[in-house]
Amino acid sequence: MDHRSWLYPLAFMTLLSLAQAKRNFIVDLHNFTCILVDPSYGKELTCVIHKSRPDPVIAVRFMLAKTEKEFNIHFNLDIIKSDESVIKMGNSKLDGCKYLSSLYGNNIYGKFFKRIQQVSNLPRKCPIPGNKLYEIRNYSVEADEFPPAVPELTFRLTLKIMIGDHTIAHIFFIASTIY
C-alpha cells in the first residue's frame, strides 16, 4: 500500500482547518478619527468607538451637502514599529462607485464592505444623494477577518475620500493585534 497517497489529502485538510480556525489574537483599537477637510462637501462626519477591544465596535455618521456622482477612496496601510518608525505596507486607490456596487466583492476590500453593507444604510450605487444622513452602526472589527498568521503589530489605516483631485475627508484607524 502506498502511504504517500494519504499525505496529500491529510496536508490539504490540515491547511484548510488552519485557515478556518479562530484566530488566537485580539484586535485592540487605539484611535478612530474622522476629519471633514472641506465642509462645502459635507454637513456632518462623525466617528465613534463604542468598544475598543477585544472585538472593537465602531460607528460612522455622515451627510453630504449635495448629491455626488463619483468619488475615490485612497487607502494607505502602515505598520508602526515599537520604536515608532513606520513601514509603508500598501497604497491603493479605489473607484468609490464601483466599491458601492460591490464590484470589488472578491478581494479583501469586498469582504469588509459586505459586512459594512449589513450594518449601514449606504447607497448601493452612485450618485450618492445629498442632505441624507448615512450611518454605519455597530460595525465590529473581527480578528477572523485578518490573515491567519498575522504577527503581533500595530497598524495604521488611513482613508482619504476624494472627489476628483480634491480631498473631502480623512479617516484614521490605528489598532494592534495582541496575542
pLDDT tens per residue across span 25-58: 889 999 999 999 999 999 999 999 999 988 899 9
Per-residue pLDDT, 42: 93
**Short-list 81, 107, 79, 78, CA closest to 94:** 107
- 57 vs 38: CA distance, rounded Å: 27
Model confidence pLDDT, tens digit, residues 92-119: 898 999 888 875 555 666 667 778 888 9
Query: Does the pLDDT value for residue 155 go beyond 60?
Result: yes
Which has the closest alpha carbon to 32: 54, 56, 50, 49? 49
Kindly report, residue by residue over 114-132, the tens digit of the pLDDT.
788 889 999 989 999 999 9
Q: Are 87 and 79 in contact (CB under 8 A)?
A: yes
Cell of 170: 480623512
Residue appearing with cell numbers 500598501? 90
| Whole-number Å distance between alpha carbons of 88 and 20 | 28
Q: Which residues are CB-contacts of 110 (< 8 A; sequence separation ≥ 6)?
A: 102, 104
- Which of 68-77, 88-97, 137-146 is predicted with the least confidence, judged by mean pLDDT? 137-146
Give CATH superfamily name and number for 25-178.
Ganglioside GM2 activator (2.70.220.10)
- What confidence score (pLDDT) does residue 6 get? 56
Lowest mean pLDDT among 12-16, 79-83, 101-105, 161-165: 12-16
In this prediction, residue 131 carries a pLDDT of 96
Residues 135, 121 contacting (CB under 8 angstroms): yes
Q: How many residues does the chain have?
A: 179
